[in-house]
Chains A and B, each alone.
Chain A
């Protein structure tokens, strides 16, 4: 189920994250623009964190326990044991908000993600938000790492990517029956120089326009962080086989470009937590939200009736306790 495609653009200034011109991007530098777009397309972007109306949909901070951990990789607890000792009650998952997720350290996001199942492969349009990895210092993990390289003459500003992402991207649209996903772009004019001429398919989401680019295949596959059950994979590697593929700019995400591969698991119907990888290297987290699906699926979710579409592993999941 998705909105019909159109070929027009009607900016919506009321939409958070929409209608903004990209900052710090020189118009003439198509190459750079493409790179940033590609870096961000993965998780489908949007500045949900600034959207109070969305935050208002939720109430109460979830009471989700995390196993203790330290800074070193060896101190990170085994996911199987985290899940056994700290199962997440459904009622707590029901309280999770994008803002809550954005405030977690990366290890907490990892522990949360590992306790989720794939849920059903979604259908329809989702808004998205990037959540960059944060270390125990509270800073972006990339900044922690890269900061250490300053002496080598290097400086990295992650907020550049955030800015560009929030400016250019709106979210993702799932076409479950076709096993295809397309990314939503809010401001086509910013990308036009690198896309070239021609019509771009467009849909209407909640009365707002969104152009569809960067198609991807949808399937059940291996999680690159937690092997114990499958995730829903959003794979751009063979995107050139999909209907509507445009070499420019869709090439960027594919096997000849940045080799983007996303994976998502369901927090609850309508809310998915995702992880974006480039050539199997983890880049960032993202959140996908569809209000209608959230509301429609609540009742079924709260009685534990929402099933995974993907292989759910053999560890007994305890999700309804407490």
Chain B
């Protein structure tokens, strides 16, 4: 029996339990949609819908709410840019299945879509989640709203198009509005087959708005009204579905919510369009009430500085759960876009402001291995079959629509924070759709790391490369987007909402009176000192322009306000996008260690040859080869409107929706201020924590935040250090339980406790799989293991770490409950442990970028004044 117990213990230990350590690193990203089998999108007339006594009465469309505002905002755009705008705002490219099924069941992170989008919380949606309300939607029962009760809308807002959509909840045959999408003419330069053979627009998958811009809903044909009523009591709420199962901590399921029951089909599948993260308030024309903006207050390209993407994507998890504690820590306006593919690098970054794109620096002569449009495949080419490995492929049934893959020198952008997504603007835009879940099931989920998979021989132990050719072949949503990428780029390049909005314009709008540049300079100088703006330009030229100008030196002669005659935009993008070693910038390095674009990793095909061949940066502790270790020099355009600063919004005041009151269940803010004078950098005492700043998108609110953030930036010695901490103990009971008729008892296993105060990034960045595999190696093949360590460590460190790993193995086996402590103690004795098994061990998130700290206070003020004019 003893022997058997040991066997079971091992089974648990080596397969399941230690796998739970994987959770110590789990972090999400975003995703895609194709409707369930019976639904399909029907490119024909809507099916007749039989009356169903369990279904709610459907409202008629006629009302003061509708799509007119969206249409008015596209006035003046070219047909191509108009098409691109509509796709940007509405197209989910099939990701509703990802956000409804894949994320929950395969990634195992639950989203409480009702908690995020419930109609009765429309008036506080911005404060809580940072979401931007769709002006065309309304709360059921409100004056003029076509829906009179939440039973009609299953608890959501009523939105344009719902008069049709709601009739198909629980029924097949919904005809997606994207089927009526008005395509612009294809580019005349495209081969004929590409012009005439665009993928069916139904596969853009619009659905209708949920009430929050960019979040789209689709009727679920599998929905069963009777089951729903049984679970929730009525149709108009999800409160039975999102309920917590128990508050009894003695029960193993006390953290579980009914959301985990995948047999319950919700009324809607929820998808996301690019606008979900990128739409926000026009800085120059903010709404009087952020909860109720009008279309004139919105921009689809400015980037949402307030959205809590991480919290939304993990909203179905309790706050004392590991996933919530490790993942839901990104600051408002930032998103860890590598979290779902999961490179185990905590690296949330800001949502880029896609402004003045026409002036963004490009890089000529970079070698890009990608697919290009051709009319036919050359004789003898590999293909034209449907093989993903083919160098040339023609789409079946679409004569003359072929693609050829090769390496060619091209002029490209460097898009991501570290310069990844460098195969051209169109390829970068397309990858955004994968980031939000498009084609997840068909193309990329199979390539991801499964954090529970500890067998190095098994699939999903690590990432494998996504194959663009396979995805084009197998996913119609990919083709629907790809065939319209030029429209999206035209939207970026030409739409007014993609133009920088200067403070002078914002103040003119605010005052509803003439307000010229000279007025702005006068007002700034009254605040920052006489001649501060002109002096600030000199300071900028001498200290900043080498990175933060797209012009060429000497910068003394550069007119940073000059207008480009071709685009009508400011000529200088105020950033050169050149990759710079993170060691030179000194900022939180984890984002630069993002590894999804490395060879052999999931987004390998979205980085060009120059990225892969980058020189290895010296002086970084953790693995940093293959293109990692750099940040591009970002734009300072409209800095007045985009504080806080740095890639993770860490420099400047912390932002919050409800004023930071932790007693408020809707307040998602958690302080990241830490005390670096004490070992382990514990959270700063509450009475010493600077207060968070409540969201204020007004012109003056942005300006005040800008000034405070600039002071923080230019005075690094005065910054209060920040490191995101676990704010509740994470307790993991590892091992199965049994029930003897009276109480639950753990059969075998142990308890892992990550104490409150631990650095969330350190937990998430711990590469538990390599660690576990090496524990075994250290025991079985110690010499070989030590030799391998010696390839990345000095020989003495390798020897010490090899011995340490043997001791760790013994200690864990003898007392697995002490697992966390054992690793922590070992790290203290042998720092090389973290060097080898952490993706990034940096803790302080608002460190670095100390440029300008030696300037006089007057010059700092001058710089602040000058940059406010750009």
Q: Does B456 contact A (CB under 8 A)?
A: yes
* Chain B minimum-CB-distance residue to A28: B1
Separation of A110 and B745 alpha carbons in the complex (Å): 35
Q: Does B431 contact A (CB under 8 A)?
A: no
- B805 nearest CB across to chain A (Å): 12
Is the beta-carbon distance between B813 and A152 smaller than 8 angstroms? yes
Known contacts being A74-B600, A80-B388, A81-B389, is A256 close to B14, with CB within 8 Å? no
* Chain B minimum-CB-distance residue to A38: B736
Q: Does A149 contact B (CB under 8 A)?
A: yes
Is the beta-carbon distance between A227 and B456 smaller than 8 angstroms? no
Which one of A48-56, A233-241, A266-274, A292-300 is at the interface?
A233-241
17 A-B pairs within 8 Å (CB atoms) are namely: A31-B738, A81-B388, A142-B15, A146-B10, A146-B14, A151-B779, A154-B14, A219-B263, A220-B36, A221-B105, A222-B441, A252-B739, A255-B260, A280-B452, A282-B453, A283-B15, A311-B37
In the complex, given contacts A78-B446, A220-B36, what are 5 additional A-B residue pairs having Cβ atoms less than 8 angstroms apart? Answer: A141-B457, A149-B14, A152-B810, A222-B101, A248-B741
A: contact size bracket = 35 or more
Is the beta-carbon distance between A34 and B738 smaller than 8 angstroms? yes
Is the beta-carbon distance between B252 and A72 smaller than 8 angstroms? no
Is the beta-carbon distance between B458 and A73 smaller than 8 angstroms? yes
Residues on B with C-beta less than 8 A from A226 are 446
Known contacts being A235-B263, A312-B37, is A255 close to B253, with CB within 8 Å? yes
* Chain B minimum-CB-distance residue to A25: B4
Q: In residues 70-107 of chain B, which contact A (Cβ within 8 Å)?
A: 97, 101-102, 105-106
Known contacts being A35-B8, A248-B739, is A152 close to B779, with CB within 8 Å? yes
Separation of A225 and B745 alpha carbons in the complex (Å): 31
Q: Does A13 contact B (CB under 8 A)?
A: no
Is the beta-carbon distance between A221 and B101 smaller than 8 angstroms? yes
- A276 nearest CB across to chain B (Å): 13
Is the beta-carbon distance between B776 and A78 smaller than 8 angstroms? no
Known contacts being A76-B459, A155-B3, is A227 close to B739, with CB within 8 Å? no
Interface residues of A (CB under 8 A from B): 24, 26, 29-32, 34-35, 38, 71-74, 76, 78-81, 84-85, 106, 110, 135-136, 141-142, 145-146, 148-149, 151-157, 160, 179, 196, 217-230, 233, 235, 237-238, 247-248, 251-252, 255-258, 278-283, 308-316
Q: Beta-carbon contacts of B1-28 to A below 8 Å, as 1s and 0s?
A: 1011111111101111001100000000
Is the beta-carbon distance between B106 and A142 smaller than 8 angstroms? no
Separation of A26 and B19 alpha carbons in the complex (Å): 30
Ranked 9 nearest A-B pairs via Cβ: A227-B445, A222-B105, A73-B461, A256-B252, A315-B474, A251-B739, A151-B779, A154-B10, A227-B441
- A313 nearest CB across to chain B (Å): 6
Residues on A with C-beta less than 8 A from B779 are 149, 151-152
Residues on A with C-beta less than 8 A from B840 are none
Is the beta-carbon distance between A252 and B102 smaller than 8 angstroms? no
Output the residue of A145, A258, A308, A310 with the most chain B CB within 10 A.
A145
- B2 nearest CB across to chain A (Å): 11
Q: Does B261 contact A (CB under 8 A)?
A: yes
Q: Beta-carbon contacts of B732-776 to A below 8 Å, as 1s and 0s?
A: 000011111100110110000000000000000000000000001
Q: Does B359 contact A (CB under 8 A)?
A: no
- A240 nearest CB across to chain B (Å): 10
Which one of B43-51, B462-470, B556-564 is at the interface?
B462-470
Q: Beta-carbon contacts of B45-63 to A below 8 Å, as 1s and 0s?
A: 0000000000000000000
- A83 nearest CB across to chain B (Å): 9
**Contact pick for B467, options A78, A145, A149, A235, CB 8 Å:** A78
Separation of A26 and B1 alpha carbons in the complex (Å): 8
- B662 nearest CB across to chain A (Å): 30
Is the beta-carbon distance between B736 and A257 smaller than 8 angstroms? yes
